[in-house]
């Protein structure tokens, strides 16, 4: 018990010190591959365009189809999703069922490095505005950790994990991030996304 208390105290002390370094005048060191980060930023810009169209068929092509065990950890779903069947179900709403009036995702602050010659890991910031049907629009942001594989036709995702902060921090940042006025205009301009074929969720 005493060891656990000491460990918790040490973690709290380290966390406070790191937070102070981050919020103070001395920035935290950032070690990442700038060229790789720019490549993955370009990939994520294209990924966001497809996501914002709710073009889930295109999104799935941006995942490594040869990798048998993709991982997707969305903050709103537990447990994390492992494997193609659940990933395809997540990105293939039932035909005729429209869940969202609209969504806008933006990915920034990409910080990446190579794990191997063809494998990379990156962290980045997800900023989103979303309108679920019959609910008020909301805006927030999240931290993301993802793994990418370099294929003949470019980078592909193999794993994706949203990493929310503590509940109090999450609530505070949601209150601080009001839905922009321009999001209503964005929603009005959206066309209804094409529904996938009836057998799309069974592939």
Q: Residue 27's pLDDT is what?
A: 57
Q: Is the pLDDT of residue 24 over 60?
A: no
Unique residue bearing structure tokens 């720019």: 38
Q: Residue 189's pLDDT is what?
A: 80
91 CB-near residues (< 8 Å, 6+ apart): 56, 59, 60
Could you tell me the pLDDT band of residue 160, with boundaries at 50, 70 and 90? Answer: very high
Provide the 8-state DSSP code for 127: E
122 CB-near residues (< 8 Å, 6+ apart): 36, 37, 40, 110, 111, 112, 113, 145, 146, 148
Over residues 141-152, the pLDDT tens digits come to 899 999 999 999
Tokens of 143: 């931290």
Report the Cα–Cα distance between both ends of the chain, in Å, rounded: 51
pTM metric for this prediction: 0.70
Listed by start position, the domains of the chain span 1-30, 32-202
Over residues 162-172, the pLDDT tens digits come to 998 767 666 66
Could you tell me the pLDDT band of residue 70, with boundaries at 50, 70 and 90? Answer: very high
Could you tell me the pLDDT band of residue 128, with boundaries at 50, 70 and 90? Answer: very high
Cα–Cα distance between 22 and 10 in angstroms, integer? 18
Of the candidate CATH numbers 3.10.450.50, 1.10.275.10, 3.30.2130.10, 3.90.1150.10, the domain formed by 32-202 belongs to 3.10.450.50
């Amino acid at each position: 018990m005493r060891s656990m208390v000491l460990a918790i105290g040490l973690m709290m002390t380290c966390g406070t010190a790191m937070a102070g370094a981050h919020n103070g005048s001395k920035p935290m060191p950032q070690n990442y591959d700038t060229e790789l980060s720019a490549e993955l930023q370009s990939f994520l810009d294209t990924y966001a365009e497809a996501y914002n169209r709710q073009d889930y068929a295109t999104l799935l092509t941006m995942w490594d189809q040869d990798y048998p065990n993709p991982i997707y950890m969305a903050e709103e779903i537990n447990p994390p999703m492992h494997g193609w069947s659940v990933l395809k179900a997540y990105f293939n709403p039932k035909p005729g069922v429209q869940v969202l009036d609209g969504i806008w995702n933006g990915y920034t602050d990409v910080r990446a490095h190579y794990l191997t010659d063809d494998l990379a890991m990156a962290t980045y910031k997800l900023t989103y505005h979303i309108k679920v049907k019959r609910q008020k629009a909301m805006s927030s942001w999240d931290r993301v950790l993802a793994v990418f594989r370099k294929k003949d036709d470019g980078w592909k995702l193999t794993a994706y994990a949203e990493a929310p902060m503590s509940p109090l921090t999450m609530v505070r940042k949601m209150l601080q991030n009001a839905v922009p006025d321009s999001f209503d205009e964005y929603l009005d301009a959206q066309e209804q996304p094409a529904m996938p074929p009836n057998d799309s969720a069974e592939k």
